[in-house]
Chain A
Amino acid sequence: MAKYILKRVLMAVITLFIVICLTFFLMNAIPGSPWLSEKTPPQATIDALNEKYGLDQPVIVQLGKYLANIVHGDFGTSIKMQKDRPVLDIITTMFPVSAAIGIIAILWAILVGVPLGCLAAYKRGTWVDSLLRVICTIGISMPGFVVATILLYLLAGGIDGFKIFPTIFDGSLKSYVLPCLALGFYPMCYLSRQTRTAMLDSINQEYIKTARAKGLKNKKIIFKHALRNALIPVITYLGPQVAFTLCGGFVVETVFSIPGLGRYFVQSIQNRDYPIIMGTTIFLAAFIIIMNLVVDLLYKLVDPRINLSKGGN
């Protein structure tokens, strides 16, 4: 087990290295520079700024310096959006905002999506199944901003005298509701569909026949015998999804004006704030790698047949 985790950590470092290099080159390949704005400063100022932040050197040299700094835990400072504020500081203040909303969103998605999937599988072919299918297909295919807008319209003043929740996120308990609903709707629908498929597969297995022949109650057959076997694909999907959701959805954070990481990430690309682009990318990549490791360890917990030391199969 320890050997397995060590191997995974080593692989994670290599993956991160590749991600860093790719992002660095791609980022520099985008036309434009951090200093462009409505009022373009004189060329002399630009040259001075470039020299100050080392942007006048070849990309490969910049990358080398950046990597050397990272090894020492230095992720640089913002060069445009919040000038000279350390990137690490920005991430550690913005991530908790996104994560709080993300955790609630993913929790309600799991708590509602998985049981709904079970229900749809158990009642397959009935109107319950059809209704759930319609809702989930809508949820999967509808873009986030549409969901957010509909929620805003319905519950935050679109209908006269029916303004239950604030339109702008201000940190109050009430203002959490709509962003969480909007952010969790897609994973909820997706999870529900995935659970249904996995459950149907599981219900048709022979051990379910055995469980029935033993005289077990339906509830026990569904939740003990079928669900646990259906969990693997669900967990597979959940791992990266948790990372994405916790790092914040750009659309939802923009619609509700949430000062979260997701929105900041996209803004940093628009502004060519190179250190922030790098910092947030590395953060998200590391998070996803960790979640994948957690998922693989969870597999072992759910299914005893999975042998991690033999390549995880």
Chain B
Amino acid sequence: MEEKQKSGKLLEVKDLHVSFFTPAGEVKAVGGISYDLNYDEVMGIVGESGSGKSVEAYSIIGLLQSPGKVVGGSITLEGEDVLAKSKEEMIDLRGNKVAMIFQNPMTCLNPVYTIGNQLIEALKAHDKKVSKEEAAKRAMEMLELVGINNVEKRMKQYPHELSGGMRQRVMIAMGLICHPQLLIADEPTTALDVTIQAQILELMKDLQKKTHMGIIFITHNLGVVAEICDKVSVMYAGKMVEQGPVDDIFYKPGHPYTMGLLRSMPRVDAESYERLIPIEGTPVDMLNPPEGCPFAPRCEYAMKICLQKMPPYVELGENHRAACWLRVQEQMAKEKSGQADAKAGSQTENKEAGDHE
């Protein structure tokens, strides 16, 4: 299982646009997002329902269903352009280089086939030469790796004979059986109860350390993000509003939406009388997105410009950026004072230089 550790860029998404062409009009589900993911790195994508986080992930693995379509941008995986691949090449890529696990383990396994059958099938789809015995052996090894005991019996069982947590472990085993470089986990813990959630997260962290694969972890649970991710992208209405290392996002959020998310999350250290503060308003109607910043209508700091123009990204620290006019203002103010400082500095320098003369 231990693989040679690769380093560097695993996945690069650049200015990705995904639209759904519905009878009511074009829905820009993903409106130009960019990020990099390195080997051995876990990135969280956070956002509320309908923010485009799943759609964005589906386009990486080529599972976008009609009427969804990638309309712009690029996705590069290990130096290869994913969007240029043919249908057959995509079939070969899925489950092999990129694996995906889904939200609801109760419905994601086919009820009429045994666990063993479904695991072996995943392996055989990409390794035609593997013998039946070898495939079964590897399937059992995978089941053991994800913490399932009594594997020989489990192989012959049907999904309905296993609990939800167990099924999610099977899903993970199925995803990892071909040793993918990238695992996309679409809310893998959302449908599980909290204790099982913790177990599954622990397992994923553990497996990630063993395999050094990159993981994209889609969730709307910031607690989960804090638990497992190295960096976070916050999505709102198809746009990436903030991106950065996990600590920066939690302790120095730069976008009002991120701040809102953090405030609406229950905290263990909170005073008992403290109430959670929800984000006011409702998500954007994606058919008629507002001009300017999509969060502006709900934003307590909204200014005139927010409703007119989408803010550019502002670097807030190393690999930490946010798209918000507030931060743009701050930066401009800083630059001004910086320039003033610099001017003053150069003047004094000049003076000193002059003094020397």
Check if A214 sits within 8 Å of B174, measured CB to CB. yes
Complex Cα gap A71–B133 (Å):
56
Check if B109 sits within 8 Å of A207, measured CB to CB. yes
Which of A128-136, A267-275, A302-310 lines the interface with chain B? A302-310
How many chain B residues have a CB neighbour from A under 8 Å?
Answer: 28
How many chain A residues have a CB neighbour from B under 8 Å?
Answer: 20
Most buried by B among A207, A214, A229: A214
Check if B171 sits within 8 Å of A210, measured CB to CB. yes
Complex Cα gap A213–B107 (Å):
14
Identify which of residues 61-101 in chain B touch chain A, using a CB-to-CB cut-off of 8 Å. Answer: 61, 63, 91-96, 99-100
Check if A217 sits within 8 Å of B110, measured CB to CB. no
Our pick among A206, A303, A304 for the contact of B108 (Cβ within 8 Å) is A206
Chain B residues positioned under 8 Å from A217 (CB to CB): 91, 125
Closest B residue to A208 by CB, please name it: B110
Chain A residues positioned under 8 Å from B96 (CB to CB): 215
Q: Determine if A7 is an interface residue (Cβ-Cβ < 8 Å).
A: no
Check if A215 sits within 8 Å of B91, measured CB to CB. yes
Complex Cα gap A305–B161 (Å):
9
Chain A residues positioned under 8 Å from B102 (CB to CB): 206, 209-210, 213
Q: Determine if B112 is an interface residue (Cβ-Cβ < 8 Å).
A: yes
Check if A215 sits within 8 Å of B112, measured CB to CB. no
Task: Render B94-137 as a binary contact track against A, CB cut-off 8 A, 1 for contact.
Answer: 11100110101001111111000000011001100000000000
Check if B160 sits within 8 Å of A210, measured CB to CB. no
Complex Cα gap A207–B174 (Å):
13
Chain B residues positioned under 8 Å from A303 (CB to CB): 111-112
Q: Nearest Cβ distance between residue A306 and chain B, in whole angstroms?
A: 10
Our pick among A209, A213, A220, A305 for the contact of B111 (Cβ within 8 Å) is A305
Q: Using known A-B contacts A206-B102, A304-B158, A305-B160, determine if residue A214 contacts B108 with beta carbons closer than 8 Å.
A: no
Q: Determine if A8 is an interface residue (Cβ-Cβ < 8 Å).
A: no
Identify which of residues 204-256 in chain A touch chain B, using a CB-to-CB cut-off of 8 Å. Answer: 205-207, 209-217, 220, 225, 228-229
Check if A215 sits within 8 Å of B125, measured CB to CB. yes
Complex Cα gap A192–B121 (Å):
29
Check if B94 sits within 8 Å of A205, measured CB to CB. no
Chain B residues positioned under 8 Å from A304 (CB to CB): 111-112, 158, 160
Our pick among B104, B113, B121 for the contact of A214 (Cβ within 8 Å) is B121
Task: Render A288-313 as a binary contact track against B, CB cut-off 8 A, 1 for contact.
Answer: 00000000000000111100000000
Q: Using known A-B contacts A302-B112, A305-B158, determine if residue A214 contacts B107 with beta carbons closer than 8 Å.
A: no
Task: Render B42-70 as a binary contact track against A, CB cut-off 8 A, 1 for contact.
Answer: 00000000000000000001010000000
Complex Cα gap A77–B284 (Å):
80
Check if A215 sits within 8 Å of B160, measured CB to CB. no
Task: Render B159-178 as a binary contact track against A, CB cut-off 8 A, 1 for contact.
Answer: 01000000000010011000
Task: Render A57-88 as a binary contact track against B, CB cut-off 8 A, 1 for contact.
Answer: 00000000000000000000000000000000
Check if A214 sits within 8 Å of B110, measured CB to CB. no
Check if B110 sits within 8 Å of A211, measured CB to CB. yes
Check if A213 sits within 8 Å of B104, measured CB to CB. no
Q: Using known A-B contacts A206-B104, A214-B174, determine if residue A225 contacts B110 with beta carbons closer than 8 Å.
A: yes
Binding site for B on A (CB under 8 A): 205-207, 209-217, 220, 225, 228-229, 302-305
Give 8 nearest A-B pairs by CB, closest first.
A215-B95, A215-B94, A214-B95, A206-B107, A207-B110, A213-B100, A214-B122, A304-B158
Q: A210-B102, A213-B99, A220-B125 are in contact. List 20 more A-B contacts (CB 8 A).
A: A205-B107, A206-B102, A209-B108, A210-B108, A210-B109, A210-B171, A214-B125, A214-B174, A215-B91, A215-B92, A215-B95, A216-B125, A217-B91, A225-B110, A228-B112, A229-B110, A229-B111, A304-B160, A305-B111, A305-B158
List, sorted by A's number, 15 A–B pairs whose CB atoms are closer than 8 Å: A206-B102, A206-B104, A206-B107, A207-B107, A207-B109, A207-B110, A207-B111, A209-B63, A210-B102, A213-B61, A216-B125, A304-B111, A304-B112, A304-B158, A305-B112
